[in-house]
């Protein structure tokens, strides 16, 4: 299990786990070289140890990397880092089609047809490149946020099918084609069958076959007719139902032969749902099909219900259907068949999908079977497939077992004869004819030939020398050695092949690994500087990253193992580098209608700070409550962001003022007089320009007017900002700067307007 912050290949930083399947765990990661997010699919440890599987997995994944299509998840890289095998893929933000159906229920017709065309388009390009998916199901189809579909895991099912895996690591039994369930030959039409089951689930919200265990569901795919979708929901287009039923025919030759043909019919239905274009074809050949007898079915049912015996291991185990639709491998690999159930073995023998490494596989020839054969005269007869030959894996196992048994028997015979004939005794049993005392002689029976133990583990070397060869004086000396793996012998004191006494001293030198050194403490060092220090000290370096409130960005937080501790030279030291203070985004709360104290508490609860608080009058919001806020509620901002808001001071207090519109009529006092002859004498001010000034003592307004021939004039002035509508005014008349008010009669009139 990878941890967030770990770096793979000094390039991919693990961010989080986004999902897990039968064979792998998927992580969201950051490609620091290309500055983009990617998906990392890492093989689970139980598969990493199978080198054959890893090789085939790499080949298939690399083949699928050549597929470029909008509806296929792009594969960027297939690589390994320190025993971790993984695929680097395009990161699709969204959910699986399975989750989409679970959340939304059965899909509308237009969406189901659109989704079907997208999936079939992905299969079309893959099949053109001779790549069969073998595991089409909603769990392997991603629905992005913009509604586009992307198919993933191309080629991986083939790698999985070549290994004996658990029921959680193979294609889901609910979508498996009859020929796959039988363990037979599969091709493009197998993918079309699985897509047909997926289309069935899209329009009905369910899979066509359900059972108590995987075997019963697989048998339904082989034998049973599915309930037509329109029996569940009559609103399903009849034309679309016919497409589904044709895609899910039991016999491959009765299905669509290519994804292109399927797409063509889907587009015709998309353009005209009422069109009647698809009819399930009649049987293509009259070759006999195999009929399941009552004895066959009873044998399967009996075996599938077997209980654990002896040590608790079941004789016939059917993996329960899992929550994610119970992934499985071909039927016969689910079980250990008891001897008395050979009949079931005959029903479910399979071919090895990796027997022929070429993409163009050849269908196996018919095998002999005890199944009853009937002539296929009617297209409504039970569907069946060509049955495969006896399992090549079983053939290989029998041959290898026979050879191994023969070799073991031959070795036993040789050992027995050797002991009888004295082949394994060194020298002669007879004592040496010599005049020397027998006490000074060393019998050849006490000698043994020194073995070669260099390059093997210490325990194995000691076992060979002590237990097998009988040496009694063997000691180990542990010496630091950077070239030989710790615990392995790199030198022996007696050369191989030397005959020596069994009690002669023998010393083997065992590698104690590299010498332990003190790890430099590089906390707070710059990244590059820390790498140099550690490498000069004899260590290798890798990186991990984490947020830290105290250590500056791009400086070392700590090392793993810790600084000043001891580690062997060459040990990989992980430098944990600070990403600086983590900026977590939080949602801005809605402060409208809060008091100032409530608004401050709401911001504090979200780890936000109080920004600039201002006040203004409002006719709509009561005094003391928030009118509005500076940052919109519901938006995402970093923790600690200051949020401004405005507090209401209530309605504004209005001061009523008035404007006085004043009209002043003036008339010269010297008008109306006559001369001696009785003619009217005009006023001396006729034609004069005079200024009429109106004032309340605070505000003064004036207007210049001309005296007419009648000795009269009028002025209109407005005085604003009056506190009352009952002001007292003075009226003054100036002629050329001289106050001539007394020479005129004044008739003012005033009206008031409220401001």
Hey, which residues are catalytic here? 135
User: What is the C-alpha to C-alpha distance for residues 672 and 161, in angstroms, rounded to an integer?
Assistant: 132
User: What is the C-alpha to C-alpha distance for residues 343 and 86, in angstroms, rounded to an integer?
Assistant: 41
Q: What are residue 14's DSSP bridge partners?
A: 29
* Alpha carbon 164 to its chain's center: 27
Determine contact, residues 27/42, Cβ cutoff 8 Å. yes
Which residues, at least 6 apart from 324, have a Cβ–Cβ distance to it below 8 Å?
A: 98, 139, 172
User: What is the C-alpha to C-alpha distance for residues 217 and 508, in angstroms, rounded to an integer?
Assistant: 62
Determine contact, residues 137/157, Cβ cutoff 8 Å. no
Q: Which tokens belong to 517?
A: 């050194």
Q: Which among 85, 60, 57, 61 is positioned nearest to 74, based on CA atoms?
A: 61
Q: What are residue 400's DSSP bridge partners?
A: none
* Alpha carbon 60 to its chain's center: 21
Determine contact, residues 495/450, Cβ cutoff 8 Å. yes
ω into residue 561 within 30 of 0, thus cis?
yes
User: What is the C-alpha to C-alpha distance for residues 365 and 185, in angstroms, rounded to an integer?
Assistant: 10
How far from 110 is each of 106, 117, 740, CA to CA, in Å? 12, 11, 97
Q: Which among 390, 398, 339, 389 is positioned nearest to 365, based on CA atoms?
A: 389
* Alpha carbon 310 to its chain's center: 44
Determine contact, residues 16/8, Cβ cutoff 8 Å. no
Which residues, at least 6 apart from 604, have a Cβ–Cβ distance to it below 8 Å?
A: none
- The angle at the Cα of 224, spanning 218 to 225, to the nearest 5 degrees, equals 130
Determine contact, residues 444/474, Cβ cutoff 8 Å. no
Helix (H) or strand (E) holding 603: helix 596-605
Query: What's the full length of the chain, in residues?
Result: 755
User: What is the C-alpha to C-alpha distance for residues 652 and 200, in angstroms, rounded to an integer?
Assistant: 68
* Alpha carbon 178 to its chain's center: 31
Q: Which among 392, 324, 344, 400 is positioned nearest to 364, based on CA atoms?
A: 392
CA-only gyration radius of the chain, Å: 49
User: What is the C-alpha to C-alpha distance for residues 221 and 242, in angstroms, rounded to an integer?
Assistant: 18
User: What is the C-alpha to C-alpha distance for residues 537 and 525, in angstroms, rounded to an integer?
Assistant: 15
Give the residue carrying structure tokens 């004789």. Answer: 315
Determine contact, residues 268/298, Cβ cutoff 8 Å. no
170: number of CA atoms within 13 Å, CB side? 24
Q: What are residue 87's DSSP bridge partners?
A: 41, 78
User: What is the C-alpha to C-alpha distance for residues 187 and 172, in angstroms, rounded to an integer?
Assistant: 17
User: What is the C-alpha to C-alpha distance for residues 477 and 493, in angstroms, rounded to an integer?
Assistant: 11
Edge-to-edge strands, sheet with 700-706: 700-706, 689-695, 730-735, 738-739
User: What is the C-alpha to C-alpha distance for residues 259 and 120, in angstroms, rounded to an integer?
Assistant: 6
User: What is the C-alpha to C-alpha distance for residues 575 and 580, in angstroms, rounded to an integer?
Assistant: 15
Determine contact, residues 88/171, Cβ cutoff 8 Å. no
């Amino acid at each position: 299990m990878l941890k967030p912050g770990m770096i793979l290949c000094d390039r991919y930083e693990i961010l989080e786990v986004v999902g897990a399947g039968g064979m792998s765990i998927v992580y969201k990661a950051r490609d620091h070289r290309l500055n983009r997010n990617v998906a990392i699919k890492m093989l689970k440890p139980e598969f990493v140890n199978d080198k054959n599987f890893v090789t085939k997995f790499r080949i298939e994944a690399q083949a699928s990397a050549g597929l470029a299509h909008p509806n296929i998840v792009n594969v960027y890289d297939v690589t390994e880092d320190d025993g971790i095998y993984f695929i680097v893929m395009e990161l699709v933000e969204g959910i699986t089609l399975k989750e989409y159906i679970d959340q939304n229920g059965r899909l509308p017709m237009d969406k189901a047809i659109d989704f079907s065309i997208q999936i079939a388009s992905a299969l079309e390009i893959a099949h053109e490149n001779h790549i069969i998916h073998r595991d089409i199901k909603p769990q392997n189809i991603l629905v992005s946020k913009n509604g586009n579909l992307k198919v993933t895991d191309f080629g991986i099912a083939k790698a999985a099918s070549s290994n004996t895996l658990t029921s959680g690591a193979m294609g889901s039994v609910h979508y498996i084609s009859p020929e796959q369930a039988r363990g037979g030959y599969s091709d493009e039409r197998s993918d079309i069958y699985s897509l047909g089951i997926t289309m069935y689930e899209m329009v009905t919200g369910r899979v066509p076959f359900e059972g108590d265990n995987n075997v019963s569901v697989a048998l339904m795919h082989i034998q049973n007719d599915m309930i037509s979708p329109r029996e569940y929901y009559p609103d399903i287009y009849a034309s679309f139902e016919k497409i589904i039923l044709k895609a899910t025919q039991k016999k491959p030759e009765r299905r669509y032969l290519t994804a292109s043909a399927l797409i063509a019919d889907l587009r015709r239905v998309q353009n005209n749902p009422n069109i009647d274009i698809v009819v399930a074809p009649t049987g293509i050949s009259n070759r006999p099909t195999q009929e399941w007898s009552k004895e066959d079915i009873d044998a399967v049912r009996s075996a599938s219900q077997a209980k654990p015996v002896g040590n608790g291991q079941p004789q016939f185990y059917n993996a329960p259907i899992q929550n994610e639709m119970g992934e499985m491998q071909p039927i016969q690999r689910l079980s250990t068949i008891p001897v008395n159930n050979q009949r079931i073995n005959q029903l479910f023998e399979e071919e090895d999908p990796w027997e022929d490494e070429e993409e163009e596989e050849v269908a196996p020839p018919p095998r002999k079977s005890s199944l009853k054969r009937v002539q296929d005269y009617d297209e409504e007869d039970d569907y069946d497939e060509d049955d495969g030959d006896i399992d090549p894996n079983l053939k290989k196992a029998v041959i290898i077992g026979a050879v191994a048994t023969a070799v073991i028997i031959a070795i036993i015979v040789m050992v027995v004869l050797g002991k009888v004939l004295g082949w394994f005794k060194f020298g002669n049993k007879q004592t040496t004819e010599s005049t020397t005392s027998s006490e000074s002689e060393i019998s050849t029976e006490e000698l043994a030939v020194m073995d070669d133990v260099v390059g093997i583990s210490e325990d194995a070397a000691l076992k060979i020398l002590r237990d097998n060869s009988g040496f009694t004086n063997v000691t180990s000396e542990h010496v630091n050695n950077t070239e030989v793996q710790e615990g392995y012998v790199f030198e022996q004191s007696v050369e191989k092949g030397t005959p020596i006494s069994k009690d002669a001293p023998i010393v083997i030198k065992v590698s104690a690994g590299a010498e332990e050194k003190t790890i430099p403490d590089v906390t707070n060092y710059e990244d590059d500087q820390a790498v140099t220090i550690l490498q000069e000290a004899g260590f290798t370096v890798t990186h991990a990253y984490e947020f830290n409130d105290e250590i500056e960005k791009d400086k070392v937080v700590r090392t793993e193992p810790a600084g000043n501790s001891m580690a062997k030279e060459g040990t990989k030291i992980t430098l944990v580098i600070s990403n600086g203070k983590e900026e977590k985004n939080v949602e801005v709360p809605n402060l409208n209608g809060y008091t100032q104290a409530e608004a401050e508490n709401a911001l504090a609860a979200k780890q936000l700070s109080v920004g600039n608080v201002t006040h203004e009058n409002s006719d709509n919001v009561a005094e003391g409550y928030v009118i509005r806020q500076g940052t919109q509620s519901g938006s995402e901002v970093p923790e600690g962001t200051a949020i401004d808001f405005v507090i209401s001071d209530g309605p504004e207090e209005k001061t009523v003022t008035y404007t006085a519109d004043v009209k002043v009529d003036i008339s010269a006092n010297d008008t109306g007089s006559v001369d001696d002859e009785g003619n009217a004498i005009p006023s001396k001010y006729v034609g004069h320009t005079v200024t009429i000034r109106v004032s309340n003592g605070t505000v003064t307004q004036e207007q210049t007017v001309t005296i007419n021939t009648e000795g009269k004039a009028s002025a209109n002035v407005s005085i604003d900002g009056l506190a009352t509508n009952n002001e007292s005014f003075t009226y003054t008349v100036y002629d050329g700067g001289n106050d001539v008010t007394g020479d005129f009669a004044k008739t003012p009139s005033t009206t008031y307007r409220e401001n």
